[in-house]
Amino acid sequence: MSDAREAVLGRVRAALHSTERSSLHDVPRDYRTERPAEDLVELFREHVTDYQASVQRVSADAIPSEIADAARSAGAAKVLIPDGAPQVWCDRVRQDFELVAADAGTAELEQVDAVITTAAVGIASTGTIVLDHGPGQGRRAATLVPDVHVCVVAEHQVVDDVPAALSRLDPVRPMTFISGPSATSDIELNRVEGVHGPRTLHVLVVPDV
C-alpha cells in the first residue's frame, strides 16, 4: 500500500510541476457566433414563453398602459413600483390601483398583489431575466413576495448567453436570476407554483426605456 501511495503521489507532484512550468494558452472561441439583435430578441421571447411566462413586444409609449393591463388581468389591486422607475408608470398605475410605497415593510409586502420592475439583462439562450436591484428594480424581497411580477426589458439589454450577461453585470452587486414564474415539484413531479416567488411573470419587451 505504501509503494502504491507513493507512486500515485509522485505522479500528482509531477503533473503539478509540469502545469506550473507550462505557459497558459488562449482557449479557442471559434464556436461562438454573433446573432443579429432581432434574432436575439425573438429567441429571448421564445425561451421566456417556454417557462410558462407571458411575453409581448410593445412600443415605449405603450408601456404605462400595458403594465396596467397586465396587473389588471392578474387581478391585482395593490401594486408596487420600485424607486427609479419612470414616473409616468406610477402616474398611470395610480389611476386604477393602490400604489404601495417602494420601501414597504415585510408585512405590507405580503399585501402587495403585483410588482412592476425594470431589469438589468435578458439572456436569450436561456430565457432568463437578471435583476441587479438597481434603479427601477427594487430590493430582492419586493420581487419575491408579491404574487405577480411585471418586468420591462429593453431590447438592447438582451444578450446571447450567460457569459455575455455576466460581462454586463457588476459582480459586487446582488443578482437575482429569474427563469419563468416560481415553480417546484414533488417526488411525483406534481408542479407547484408560487413557492419561492411570483406565480405569474409577465414580460414586456420594448425598444427602449
pLDDT of the residue at 12: 86
Predicted confidence (pLDDT) per residue in 96-140, tens digit: 999 999 988 888 999 999 999 999 999 999 999 999 999 999 999
In the predicted structure, residue 80 carries a pLDDT above the cut 90: yes
Instruction: Give dist(CA 20, CA 106) in Å, integer.
Output: 52
Average pLDDT, the chain: 87
Name the residue with higher pLDDT: 185 or 41: 41
Report percent pLDDT > 90 for the chain: 65
pLDDT of the residue at 131: 96
Identify whether the C-beta of residue 62 lies closer than 8 Å to the C-beta of residue 207: no
The answer to whether domain 35-206 has CATH 3.40.50.300 is no
Q: What are the boundaries of each domain within the chain? A: 35-206
pLDDT of the residue at 67: 94
pLDDT of the residue at 191: 73
Instruction: Give dist(CA 205, CA 48) in Å, integer.
Output: 11
Q: Which of 18-32, 41-55, 136-150 has the lowest mean pLDDT?
A: 18-32
* Confidence band for 6, pLDDT divided at 50, 70 and 90: confident
Predicted confidence (pLDDT) per residue in 46-64, tens digit: 999 998 899 999 999 999 9
Please give the average per-residue pLDDT across 29-49, as a whole number.
81
Q: What is the pTM of this model?
A: 0.79
Identify whether the C-beta of residue 121 lies closer than 8 Å to the C-beta of residue 169: yes
Name the residue with higher pLDDT: 40 or 25: 40
Identify whether the C-beta of residue 61 lies closer than 8 Å to the C-beta of residue 207: no
- Amino acid sitting at position 13: R
Please give the average per-residue pLDDT across 137-144, as a whole number.
92
3-state percent breakdown (helix, strand, coil) of the chain, nearest 5: 35, 20, 40
Grid cell in block for residue 92: 398611470
In this structure, the strands spanning 128-131 and 98-100 are unpaired
Predicted confidence (pLDDT) per residue in 152-182, tens digit: 999 999 999 999 999 999 999 999 999 988 7
